[in-house]
Structure 1
Amino acid sequence: MEPKVEKKTRKLPAKYASKVMPLLLSIFMTCIVSLVSTLLAVGFTTELLGLWPQAWLMSWLVAFPTLLMVLPVVQRLTRFIVEPH
């Protein structure tokens, strides 16, 4: 019986976490919010598939840089409000 060889997954270094987290958060949040607002505007129609990706892209282009700028402020406010461990 041969020993199992674990396959290592390549990951980004930890120093990139402060950029990856807002990137992923902005993608998920803008995806959901733009879908809801587009649905409210046009309903379940064939227009939805054409309008939603454009609405998502425009909202993401605003949200990601905003998250990068606002995140340090939010972290400080959170430390002010929440007891440390």
Structure 2
Amino acid sequence: MRPEDHTIAFGIPRLPARYGALVMPLLLSLLMTAIVSLITTLKAIGLAPRWLSAWGVSWLIAFPVLLLVLPLVRRLTARIVRPA
């Protein structure tokens, strides 16, 4: 194993594998809430915001985006967490 395989970046050590179950949802929630809040904010500009409508539009976009970003999040999680 190469020395850089033990770090995330800049000498920061990778987390033990047991944290993978926490890291993946953390990364997904960061990405998804950023995307959903952007969509909701854009939708609210010039329109009367209504929660159900805003959530529905956000979810319709968030679910396919989740399917697209999940492989990226898995790779990032693997980069942050040491293998079991």
TM-score tier after normalising by the smaller chain length? 0.3 to 0.5
Question: What TM-score do you get using the length of structure 2 for normalisation?
Answer: 0.42
For the pair shown, the structure with the greater C-alpha radius of gyration is: 1
Larger RCO (CA under 8 A, 6+ residues apart) = 2
